[in-house]
Amino acid sequence: MAKRQEFGKEKRHIIAARAGYRCSYPDCDKLTVGPGTASETFEDNGYAAHIYAAVPKGPRGQGKLNPVQLSAVSNGIWMCGDHSSLIDKKSGIRFPANMLLGWKALHEYRTSFEQSGFKAAYGFVRELTIDNSALFTPGSEIVFAKTTFLIGPNGSGKTAICEWLTALDTSRNMWRWITHNILNYRVSFDAPLMQTLQVEAGSGALSLSLDNMAVHRNHARVSVIYVRDRGGRALPDDLARLAHLFGMDQIELKALAAMVSSDFVAALSFKRSLGTSGTPTDDLICTFPDGQVESFSQLSGGQQGMIVLELGIEQARIASQFGPTMLLVELKNLGIDWGNFATYLDYFASRQCIFQTVVTSWELPSDVEMLGWQIYRLVGPTGTVLGTIVESARGA
């Protein structure tokens, strides 16, 4: 008989405290601690549930976790009595490990906000449900964690999902969808109360409704910053290209660039010069921490991608101080390799970072996959068969 990998009293307490002693099941939030019957006691009726199972044949299995990892705080999720038994029914098949990891991250994120006294940024994009599209089977859904990966080949719908999510903020990425077949989807989010934006596109028009009321834009504002590529469009200069990429006024972009200062790039500024034809061009000048100064156009593709990402992160960092914010990063289009991207992943997971991130890529290195991020694999449509969105079980 295999030994049960129990958390023990001390770790159970840590798991509970990290959840604020409230159930982590979405929308439950039940308080599991309170005064006991005797005046000197308290009663705690919550459960530190295992994400990966305590025994080899337990719910969800044990993945590739060793005994130490199985009994670690990171493998526990705090739940009320009802939900701790619900998630283990039928070997936990309806509640895969990465779904629970996503819930845990979301619940801890909210608890952390509440504890730190932030109010404005208390919000979260919860879920995208695709009711009708030319790409995915009806009912396909994505539950967002603090960082969510969408992994799939070209044509599998990664960009489509990014564009659909931007409708929380703006309709400017929806042009190609109104000429498409009918598209219907919903995005639920907290801002800070839960609301649902319903989007219908097709027959040349876009119609939105917010909690069943017709609107022309999402009034419960969620900032969505979409870093789709390096901004390589046929526009006259860096300023015009990057302003177009971020859907910003050029004055705004200049102000934003002046605020960027990170471990990768110490400063950004625009420099105006007169070209041979006498037309002024505004080039982006990058000053690196070692003092090196280079113009954006002289950088390698990967370095350009990092600069564009820095601009996106700076926007998200500022926006998230004032309301719910989501950063969408199309990693392959930016040309950034995983080695360089790893430092950003640490930041996205940190408490200092108070926005959500969605990262799209063709593949995920195994060391990243093992860290327990929320991962969805996209299988694109083939012929008349619609594509699917599959939650990828960690370590499976």
* Minimum CB distance to Zn ion, residue 88 (Å): 13
C-alpha atoms less than 13 angstroms from C-alpha of 42 in its C-beta half-sphere: 8
**25 near Zn ion (CB under 5 A):** yes
What x/- string results for residues 41 through 70 when contact with Zn ion is judged by CB under 5 A?
A: ------------------------------
* Minimum CB distance to Zn ion, residue 133 (Å): 33
Cα-to-chain-centroid distance, residue 315: 15
- CA-nearest of 128, 162, 157, 130 to 145 is 128
* Minimum CB distance to Zn ion, residue 165 (Å): 28
Considering the complex, state which of residue 77 and residue 225 has its C-beta at the smaller distance from Zn ion: 77
Total number of residues binding Zn ion (CB under 5 A)?
6
∠ CA 339-334-332, rounded to 5°:
75
Contact assessment for residue 87 and residue 100, using Cβ atoms and an 8 Å cutoff: yes
Distance CA 75, CA 12 (A): 11
**33 near Zn ion (CB under 5 A):** no
**30 near Zn ion (CB under 5 A):** yes
**107 near Zn ion (CB under 5 A):** no
Phi-psi region of 216 (alpha: psi -120 to 50; beta: other; left: phi over 0): alpha
Sign of the torsion angle spanned by Cα atoms 266, 267, 268, 272: negative
**194 near Zn ion (CB under 5 A):** no
- The DSSP call for residue 31 is B
* Minimum CB distance to Zn ion, residue 100 (Å): 13
**16 near Zn ion (CB under 5 A):** no
What x/- string results for residues 79 through 98 when contact with Zn ion is judged by CB under 5 A?
A: -x--x---------------
Q: Which stretch binds Zn ion (CB under 5 A): 16-24, 64-72, 251-259, 346-354?
A: 16-24
Query: Which residues are paired to 43 by β-bridges?
Result: 34
Chain positions contacting Zn ion, by CB under 5 A: 23, 25, 28, 30, 80, 83
